[in-house]
Structure 1
């Protein structure tokens, strides 16, 4: 049992280190949004568009390995001969068996039909709503939702109570609900090769589980059994998918509408605006909060959506205000274009200043062609 527990912890640490949960969620949201027939091709394209540098490094490594294998193969072949001409002919003409790769396909949902469907609401006390909110904020699946969308999730969740020893999820079943634990403990078991159940994890107050089978339209990967009397809050699969899909659609539409009003992006195609909208990171800052300091390395490009910022630069030993920026303004691009450290300190000037940003790879991919326009700014970063 300790071996399995250690393995699970190792895998969990790896997921956290590589931020894989966020990547998986992003891919699944895109799948639900586009609903492609060829899921594998869509994922490949998604990775090429969002992680070009990582894929280029992987291709370089792959090419080196291929060259090494080819060289070793030539070395081996030079010292051997085919014993029979008939055997050589057979090797030439015998077709290589083709095996069709299995794929996991995201469940299709009709956007128009789904959006017309009412999400059921379950009455709750204010205390219960606050407990659910606290749990959801710890879950990567919901961290990007705005307050209105989170409110919809909380209203849609319904109570589930299980006694000590009762099954909550059975390995191999279809995924029906996503769960968060208000009180109690839940043991997680996986069948081993002998048909026995190995304890691999344990959930307690504030934990959530059950999302993977719903996201990937796959059977339950484990059995979850109440270790004590537990009170859970559940979200059914239709509401789960619909809320995530609606949030992605609404956010894309909102961002595209905002980006169209930015002079810098005049002439950008609808498709490219959609690409930019899908990769924008949203961050809300309080008044007088530092976005970045002068002299630090630059890794993000920013657009002010609401609120404002001021830019301060040291001149003759004194820090002076060189610019004030409001909604629709952008900053932080020159450090990315030049590779030099930030040349100014940027601080927010309003409560709830909302910034949209792109990291270095995303910036180079979607805004690289605007390099000349970006370099015409009067103040330096």
Structure 2
């Protein structure tokens, strides 16, 4: 197989998986295995939107075989499980946990946080409390606000997270996360620098991916998707990190993020500059939005400032004012209400703001997205805009 064919094959696989993940995130099936099997079957028959090409169809057949295998394995497991007597329940629980040698108590809690039933109701979650001084709490709150994954929390949820977080000091060269391990916590950097590497298939040495600096978080993907660690994180310097356990993350942070995503996903689809994005990409943007609050008369944006944020109005009203004649006061040129957006060109370029945006309601709540956050989550907006050349040309002409 030529390198060109391999690249084409990878793209086909990615396209199918993106559609499948989007469908899973949208429909949230209780039993994902039959759902995946049914979805792939319908896709191969052309019964779902966006017909597929020959390359995608071939890869789809391979995926169906894998799903059928997993389905058989699941049925075998269920049959074997039903043959066990109820008297062996306690032994079964120990047997399932034993292969994971590290920190049995922590892992048992992690599993129970995700499997809910009569014996383990979600409402029974009791957050842990790690004693800390008020000074430490204040420092911690400030740092967490820099990590977008915590911006969906309300005041009570935020306090729960702050109380449950542990401060961990690591020395230069210490291993914080190892690729392939089970994830039972996530981290936010307070001090120092950490490096992220990954061992790709066919390589003998890990590949450097990025560095993590104060305010950045890592390790949440393993908790969100109940997957092994995707990379290795080591301390490049002496560092201090904040550690959040799986239980608190799943019961507080993940639930809050889901509510936030649901609130903003559909609205993001109405933003013209983002209309070329698929639902999965919009969900990632919704997760990255930060909430900001203003009082009547406050400036959200000042004319002439360099723009680096895009804003959506969640609650309240605002106006745009602009100096139309040199030497004269700025005049109102536009009004904004709930659901309106402004500053979207800041995602594309760092040009100066063309107008002031001023809060006119007693309270104005907006959510913002920084250009660098957008790039970190999805890459350059220019690449996404090029999917719809009419929109891309419209925005590039405005830069001339």
Q: Tell me the TM-score normalised to structure 1 length.
A: 0.46
- Higher Cα Rg, which structure: 1
Q: Tell me the TM-score normalised to structure 2 length.
A: 0.45
